[in-house]
Structure 1
Amino acid sequence: MHSSPWQWISQDGQAFLTCELLNPWPHGFFTRHFWPQTPEDLTPVLHPQAAVQRVKQVHGNRVLTPTVMAQIPPEAQHHEADALMSDAPHQALWVCSADCNPVLIGDCATGHTAAIHAGWRGTALEIVLHTVAKMQAQGSQLKDLRVAIGPAIDGSVYQVATTVAAEVGRTIAPETHHTKDDTTLVDHLETLDHSPILPDPEPGKARLDVRQVNVWQLMRFGLSRDQISVAPHCTFQEPDQFFSYRRTGKKQVQWSGIVSRPAA
């Protein structure tokens, strides 16, 4: 039996999740048990000298680098964005989530990394692909990227309006289907093998697996399936480990971070 690429690492009596695809980079998907620790508290767990980088998340598709962030006046605090891309070694990039997808990316050749907050809105805006494209502009090649999608709400329990499913679904639908009305498009996507959009018994609703939409987007963009790993954990269904906004309505989050390294 093949072992899972996802492993728990113990830290001071608690454990955070790691993915073997990202083993070359210090990284972690932290659980609710580390709350209310901040990235400033958690970064030393990954790397003792790494510089903390985080943004004000707004469910968009803006990608920032630490160099750009350093040009922001101190009174502006954290700039609004939902993805961070490293531009030097030993930068600790952080995103927070509580049902949305925390996505960490590493480049085996350049050592650069990215951390992305991808809920359904960001996924509809293709934030992960925007980040990958910016990494390419910085010198990355698709074959060198490794992508880990952390704990998020599972599609089997994530009920959304058909309009939402269609908005996200258009990012993976063949262009010939883009003009279809929302219901027709969702009905079509539900028939596809291993579809990330699932039927729901309630009229006007569908079940949406945002994690798998991001997998589909990445593969359409040119990555292979073995470059991508999805955590086998659902924030909604595992209350002992994870906060879930859909479950409780409370704004509590878990942090996910990755540290860039020198080029190979």
Structure 2
Amino acid sequence: MATLAGKIALVTGGANGIGKIMTRLLLERKAIVIIWDMNQEKIDETLAEFSAKGTIWGYKVDVSDILQIHQAARKVKQQVGLVDVLINNAGIVVGKFFHEHNPNDILKTMEINANAPMLITNEFLEDMMLQNSGHICNIASSGGLISNPKMSVYAASKWSVIGWSDSLRLEMQQLDKNVKVTTIMPYYINTGMFDGVQSSIPILEPEAAALTIIKAIEKDKIMVTIPGYIYRLTRMAQGVLSIRVFDWIMGSVLHIYKTMEHFKGHKK
């Protein structure tokens, strides 16, 4: 998408973390921005902070609720217009061993991280196809590339996003539709969501990560890892090495398998 000026962009989880930063970057590029978030106080703060930068709308939406998704999508179309750019950014993480999860942990993680991007996209995709233009950006995770202790359900949800997102890209190509799909796979980002994580690979700064995502949309990138070497290094190592050797490198050399040992997450 060569320019975002004048485009209507929707960001889920847009009142917090990199979602809020992306909202600001979109406004600076003269886009009309809609944020969905489940925290009304944060929505109000974001609207007040950014209202001078351009046109911004806010809706309280729990994206784990299919009815709220449908109702909010209908309001957006009636009150703002057809969405040109959809950024599926909202997400949660429960950092526990799998046997420590309760059913609600599992269901909520999958509903927000895996199901919501598909359900939300389903609300807006037909309009994009009819006007033969649009861009869908799905924020997955490098956790969708590598198995990791204390991230089993989170990893499952992000593996799901990667598979669905890139399949959608191929479908749009086969149908000859000018609807672009970008899949983003960042490493840990310093937003509070992964507080307590300890990593030998540098944890990402939110501003730089958000800027990389917006630039990926502008350049119609297909799959982007942040940092960029993670995808190539991981896929090459998985293809060449045995599982035991790969595990040794990830666990004992890079210590990836121990990054969640001291996980705390967002403070309540």
Instruction: Assess same fold via TM > 0.5.
Output: no
Of structures 1 and 2, the one with the larger relative CO (CA 8 A, separation 6+) is 1
After TM superposition, the score normalised by the length of structure 2 is 0.38
After TM superposition, the score normalised by the length of structure 1 is 0.39
